[in-house]
Amino acid sequence: MKSFFHPESVAVIGASPRKGGYNIIANLLNGFKGAVYPVNPNYGEIEGLPCFASVEQIPGPVELAIIFIPAPKVPDALEACARKGIKRVMIESAGFAEVGADGKAIQDRLKAVAEASNMRLWGPNCMGLVDVRGKNLFTFMSPRLYKDGLLEGKLSLIVQSGMLSAAFIADLMGRKKIGMGQVCSIGNKMDVDECDLLEYLLDDHDTDVVALYLESIRRGELFAKIAAKARKPIVALKGGRSSAGAKAAMSHTSSLSGNSRLLDSVLELSGVVLARDFFQMIDLAKTLAMTRLTKPAPRVAVLTFSGGAGILTCDLLENHGFELAGLSPDVVDRLADLFPSWMPVSNPVDMYPAIERHGRLATYDQAVPAALDDPQVDVVLLHYPVGVETDFIDLAGLKEKADRVNKPLLVWTLGLRDATEEFKELAYKLNVPCFDELSRMVECLAAAEKFSRVQRERNASPGAVRASDHVQPPPALASGDRVWDEYQSKRLLSKWNIPVVEERLAATAAEAEEAARALGYPVVLKGLVPGGVHKTEQGLVRLGITSNRDLETAFGELREKIRESNGRILAQRQVRIEYELIAGYLRDSQFGPCVMFGVGGILSELHRDVMFALAPLNRPEALKLIRSIRGKRLLEGFRGMAPLDLDRMADLLVNLGALGAAYPQIEQIDINPVAVAGGIPLAVDASVILKAD
């Protein structure tokens, strides 16, 4: 990647005195320190530089070529680059796979040329690269970009949409409140993709945080593994979510993976912070670049000029799981000197009565340092109205104080427009996160807390061995139908040490009675239909059978239902169930082998409280997956029930992930429900689904 970001020479194929071809040359001449070679057979020179008819006429080596010519002409230009020995090419032209079959055919030709010549391609259909710090502007965006002023920062962007990256830069730079490091527009990403760039930027000492807008993640498993090892924050916004879904919803596991649920789960458990929209993504990234929390469960102090704003902030903090700090007696005494005698001091600190006595600036200058000094306070959230006085509070002094005591200071501000913009610009220069909305301030604080928690967990269990490291080559799967019935599926699960309910097949009513005597009443009878996985919906389950007479009746009913399908009947011990969970395995097209865990039973698709993680898992990863669901309170011993045996459940998930990953032909495994009684999980129903081919 270094040759893309810091080449010693650049050839511009499609350079011209006008429009985009001119912009690329003008941008290069603005800051690029290496040699620039315009390439266009129609001109002798451009901007005082000799212009070459072909890259092959350029004297000496060329490290990077930027192509900006009509799509049908690009393959010939790329072949010329290959003959010249150019190994890095950035294609900023459009008209390829994004426009249909003809464009895809051209793109396929490019890929063939690149593979034959060991060449790396960036794009096509992209805006290229804007390296603000290095002043390498490899893009056809307007030169006004740098004429209006580029603000340097340590936030780097990877954006799949070309025009969106341009709009991002123009908007963010225009506001002059957010500095950027490197903005990478990757377009169709036929070769260089988000994984290549993410690895590079995570290793870049001038990048503190990486934000991404992506419409697809081609190598999802690799992306998640890179993120899981990252020591820098990663914020991701994924487009194209609403139309996603399960491509073959034969099982609950497949259905529940749709609508980006799997993607969100895997990325979240890999430590990625997920964003909902563009500017939230930037706010999250900006805050993560500025804020580090060093203590678990940080206690928060809120200093406000409005009682109502303080109450709302407390509500938001509680929703995100934060604890409001109890102020220490010494700090209460210090603050009490500011307030009238009738006003008790508590957190949140409503400073308005003190402001009435001493003035706004004097009150802030005394109250905020007191809160920062409090040993029972880990984070200070400050509300500040601007435009009321000519002068601002001493934000530089407060930031210096906050850094000295190693406590984050975040500010919510509102007021007159010009004063607010001026204050925000000051806050950015001082590395103080500043927000327009209370909710955004708290959610950004929550993201910082999550990143710190993830880093502590990684430090606590570095290099954990994955389950697959201990799995011996498995025996071959028995041939048969693509969709295995419950009995066949659970036989496989039991071989991988996944606990399953006791059961027996029964070909006759007499065999069913014999099975019931061995299992002990009450029992369950199930009709197993080839290719069917939803037995309850088909009326193929009989529960609570307590006598031979009831057993005979139920057996006869099920036999009639399955007669035409050549099915079979399963007798099963009826187990006590306090609540139901679901576990599953899915071989996803983007992320590869994944394990699912969540709240299960017949209502699993209604509640949709599930999470996914890459498989195979190790024990810490399985425990993290278990604790990640929204309904985790159920697992802690809800309403007098025994808490879930986390070790047993983790073992089940570890073994399930190892089983699925060991057999490439397995597409899905569904264990629903996982019955829990006395805290012990047990697989009551299951299905195994093989790949269609």
Average pLDDT, stretch 351-358?
A: 93
Average pLDDT, stretch 640-663?
A: 95
pLDDT in tens, 272-326: 999 998 889 999 999 999 998 888 899 999 999 999 999 999 999 999 999 999 9
Asked whether residue 504 carries a pLDDT value surpassing 60, the answer given is yes
Planar angle of CA 25, 31, 34, nearest 5 degrees: 75
Higher pLDDT, 8 or 216: 8
Question: How would you classify residue 459: left for phi > 0, otherwise alpha for psi between -120 and 50, otherwise beta?
Answer: alpha
pLDDT band of residue 252 (cuts 50, 70, 90) is very low
Higher pLDDT, 372 or 639: 372
pTM: 0.88
pLDDT in tens, 15-66: 999 888 999 999 999 989 999 999 999 999 999 999 999 999 999 999 999 9
Whole-angstrom CA distances from 182 to 178, 179, 209, 304, 313 are 13, 10, 11, 37, 34
Task: Please state, as a whole number, how many other Cβ atoms lie within 10 Å of the Cβ of residue 664.
Answer: 10
Asked whether residue 476 carries a pLDDT value surpassing 80, the answer given is no
Asked whether residue 232 carries a pLDDT value surpassing 80, the answer given is yes
Asked whether residue 149 carries a pLDDT value surpassing 70, the answer given is no
Give the per-residue pLDDT at 469.
Answer: 41
Average pLDDT, stretch 396-408?
A: 96
Give the per-residue pLDDT at 142.
Answer: 84
Listed in sequence order, the residues at least 6 apart from 318 whose beta carbon sits closer than 8 Å to its beta carbon are 324
Give the per-residue pLDDT at 170.
Answer: 60
Mean residue pLDDT of the chain comes to 89
Task: Please state, as a whole number, how many other Cβ atoms lie within 10 Å of the Cβ of residue 375.
Answer: 11
Considering just the CA atoms, what is the radius of gyration of the chain in Å?
31
pLDDT in tens, 80-89: 999 999 999 9
Give the per-residue pLDDT at 538.
Answer: 81
Give the per-residue pLDDT at 472.
Answer: 52
Q: List the single range of 41-45, 356-360, 395-399, 496-500 with lowest mean pLDDT.
A: 356-360
Give the per-residue pLDDT at 266.
Answer: 94
Give the per-residue pLDDT at 556.
Answer: 94
Instruction: Sort 647 into a burial class: Cβ within 10 Å, 0-12 / 13-18 / 19+.
Output: exposed
For 575-578, which contacts have Cβ atoms below 8 Å and span 24 or more sequence positions?
575/501, 575/675, 575/677, 575/682, 575/684, 576/677, 577/673, 577/675, 577/676, 577/677, 577/684, 578/641, 578/642, 578/676, 578/677, 578/678
Question: Cis peptide before 522, with omega less than 30 degrees from 0?
Answer: yes
Planar angle of CA 358, 361, 365, nearest 5 degrees: 95
Contact status, residue 69 vs residue 14, Cβ threshold 8 Å? yes
Give the per-residue pLDDT at 546.
Answer: 95
Asked whether residue 248 carries a pLDDT value surpassing 60, the answer given is no
3-state secondary structure 454-476: HHHHHHHCCCCCCHHHHCCCCCC
pLDDT band of residue 242 (cuts 50, 70, 90) is low
Planar angle of CA 322, 274, 1, nearest 5 degrees: 130
Specify the length of the chain in residues: 693
Helices and strands: H and E segment counts in the chain: 24, 30
Contact status, residue 580 vs residue 601, Cβ threshold 8 Å? yes
Give the per-residue pLDDT at 600.
Answer: 84
pLDDT band of residue 651 (cuts 50, 70, 90) is very high
pLDDT band of residue 241 (cuts 50, 70, 90) is low
pLDDT in tens, 601-619: 665 555 678 999 999 999 9
Q: What is the dihedral of CA 288, 293, 299, 305, to 10 degrees?
A: -40
User: Which segment, 205-209, 338-342, 460-464, 473-477, is predicted with the most confidence on average?
Assistant: 205-209
Average pLDDT, stretch 656-673?
A: 94
Q: Which among 582, 587, 588 is positioned nearest to 606, based on CA atoms?
A: 582
pLDDT band of residue 162 (cuts 50, 70, 90) is low
3-state secondary structure 1-32: CHHHHCCCEEEEECCCCCHHHHHHHHHHHHHC
Average pLDDT, stretch 568-588?
A: 94
Give the per-residue pLDDT at 112.
Answer: 97
pLDDT band of residue 143 (cuts 50, 70, 90) is confident
Listed in sequence order, the residues at least 6 apart from 437 whose beta carbon sits closer than 8 Å to its beta carbon are 412
Contact status, residue 63 vs residue 119, Cβ threshold 8 Å? no
Sheet of 88-91: strand order equals 35-39, 9-13, 64-67, 88-91, 120-122
Task: Please state, as a whole number, how many other Cβ atoms lie within 10 Å of the Cβ of residue 44.
Answer: 10
Instruction: Sort 508 into a burial class: Cβ within 10 Å, 0-12 / 13-18 / 19+.
Output: exposed
Average pLDDT, stretch 628-647?
A: 90
Distance CA 363, CA 577 (A): 60
Higher pLDDT, 463 or 331: 331
For 139-144, which contacts have Cβ atoms below 8 Å and span 24 or more sequence positions?
139/23, 139/24, 139/27, 139/92, 139/166, 139/185, 140/20, 140/21, 140/23, 140/24, 140/27, 140/68, 140/92, 141/23, 141/27, 141/166, 141/169, 142/23, 143/23, 143/26, 143/27, 143/30
Higher pLDDT, 646 or 239: 646
Asked whether residue 165 carries a pLDDT value surpassing 70, the answer given is no
Listed in sequence order, the residues at least 6 apart from 171 whose beta carbon sits closer than 8 Å to its beta carbon are none
pLDDT in tens, 369-399: 999 999 999 999 999 999 877 789 999 999 9
Average pLDDT, stretch 508-527?
A: 95
Average pLDDT, stretch 422-446?
A: 94
Q: What percent of the chain has pLDDT over 70?
A: 90
